[in-house]
Amino acid sequence: MSIESKLNARLLTPVLLNTVLALSALYAPQPLLPTLSQTFTISREAAAGLTTVTFIPLAIAPLLYGYLLESISATQLLKIAVPLLALSELLFAWAGNYPLLMIIRLFQGLLIPAILTGLMTYISQQSSSSTIQRSMSIYIAATIFGGFIGRAASGLIATWFGWRYSFIILAISLAIGFLLLFFLPDSGNLKLNRPAPKIILQTLQRPAFLPLYLAIFCLFFVFAAMMNFIPFRLTELSSEANELRIGLMYSGYMMGICTSLGAPAICRKLGGQARGIQLGLLAYGVTLFGLAFNQIWMLFATMFLFCGAMFLVHSTASGLINQLAGEEHRGLTNGIYVAFYYAGGAIGSFAPGLLYRQSGWYGFLVALLIVCLLGYLCSRRIILQGE
């Protein structure tokens, strides 16, 4: 059964649009943090909290939504979460003080994982075992594009019309995404019963599941750390590292679209998804040596390889976990996956910075290399248990 027969254009449009918009909502404030800092007379650290505050619920809420998806359908969850996210964007645009902005962002941190978990589950339900890897690769590519376009569009709109219009337009876009959800047939593949709490533990005890989840934790730990602290490295290396040049350093992010879409072919040549994950983590670690150079052009080039390796692992792992899960408890399985992913990001976004301050850039890289090695060792366990 081909992807076109299950995830045709009528299904892909609302699924991918809402995926892009959910990630746009997550990252849209980032390029506007200096403006928000001036508007509300707050420190840079306080302004940065508008992005980091969303990662805590992102690491916890997916477990609840994955559990919930065993009792209601993915489309029902999406039809609740998407309009609420649209409303929250309007409230963010009209907010008049910083504490209210923080409350709204925390609320969005609860809604975004509901949308992402629901979308992952819906895609897995509408795909056969032979197409699940390709389907999840398309989904991951949409998340990558959403993370990029969310930053780019909000900055562009804010430059032309003011920062509040960035969130008004995002709210309108989410409203359109919500309307398109009504073109999706209700998903009925999951067993609509409430599982016992012990199913979470049983899922983690299944062969290859815990090593895979831990590998993903390590993967995003390293990625979040690098995305957060490479701007500081650039300012160390060059006094001319302005916001535009720092922003261009993230261009390598788009390389992930190529590797995520090419992941199924890469895995076929390597002999399986687990071996694709292993190769990706090896390449991931090698790129950290490239990021140790002092030349900015070298950092720029290495970031393409770094992001490409990261999203090769991410897209492959998301497909593999759904393939291993089978038809039962996919909602919960995806919820645990997203929880481990963002838990790694939540810790990686600040903890390595403490070592950076004490031991410098090279100590920072050594710490990331150790975490990457742990992820690689977990990937070896995936091969031993799952293949």
User: Tens digit of pLDDT for each residue in 2-16?
Assistant: 444 445 666 778 999
Tell me, yes or no, whether 250 lies in a domain: yes
In a domain, 188, yes or no: no
The reply to whether 121 and 262 lie within a common domain is no
Task: Indicate the DSSP class of residue 42.
Answer: -
* 381 falls within a domain: yes
- pLDDT of 297 strictly over 60: yes
Q: What is the CA radius of gyration of the chain?
A: 20
Domain end (from 183, 205, 228): 183
CATH value at residue 175: 1.20.1250.20
What is the dihedral sign for C-alpha 267, 114, 1, 387?
Answer: positive
In this structure, are residues 69 and 118 in contact, taking their beta carbons and an 8 Å threshold?
yes
Q: Are residues 201 and 136 in the same domain?
A: no
Same domain, 283 and 369: yes
The alpha-helical segments, DSSP class H, found in the chain are 3-6, 9-27, 33-39, 44-52, 55-68, 74-94, 98-125, 132-161, 163-180, 198-205, 209-237, 243-248, 255-270, 273-290, 296-325, 330-348, 351-386
235, pLDDT greater than 80: no
The number of residues in the chain equals 387
Rounded to whole angstroms, how far apart are CA atoms 310 and 387?
A: 22
Select from 122, 157, 183 the last residue of a domain: 183
Residue 190 lies in a domain: no
- What is the span of the domain harbouring residue 162? 7-183
Last residue of a domain, one of 148, 183, 218: 183
Are 51 and 26 in a shared domain?
yes
* Domain identity same for 233 and 336: yes
With a cut of 90, say whether residue 30 has pLDDT above it. no
Q: What mean pLDDT value characterizes the chain?
A: 82
Q: Are residues 325 and 210 located together in one domain of the fold?
A: yes
Q: Is residue 2 part of a domain?
A: no
27/158 same-domain check: yes
Alpha helices in 69-126 (DSSP H): 74-94, 98-125
- Does residue 239 belong to any structural domain of this protein? yes
Per the listing, tokens 């999706």 go with: 184
pLDDT at residue 227 greater than cutoff 60: yes
Q: Which whole number is the average pLDDT over 134-159?
A: 82
Instruction: Please report whether residue 387 resides in a domain.
Output: yes
Counted domains in the chain: 2
- Both 336 and 248 in a single domain? yes
**What pLDDT score does 130 carry?**
66
Q: Is residue 93 over pLDDT 70?
A: yes
The answer on 168 and 48 residing in a single domain is yes
Task: For residues 212 and 204, give the distance between their C-alpha atoms in angstroms, rounded to a whole number.
Answer: 10
Question: Are 166 and 247 contained in the same domain?
Answer: no
256 and 168 within one domain: no
Q: How confident is the model at residue 188 (pLDDT cuts 50, 70, 90)?
A: low
Domain-embedded: residue 251: yes
* Model confidence at 218: pLDDT above 90: yes
212, 107: one domain: no
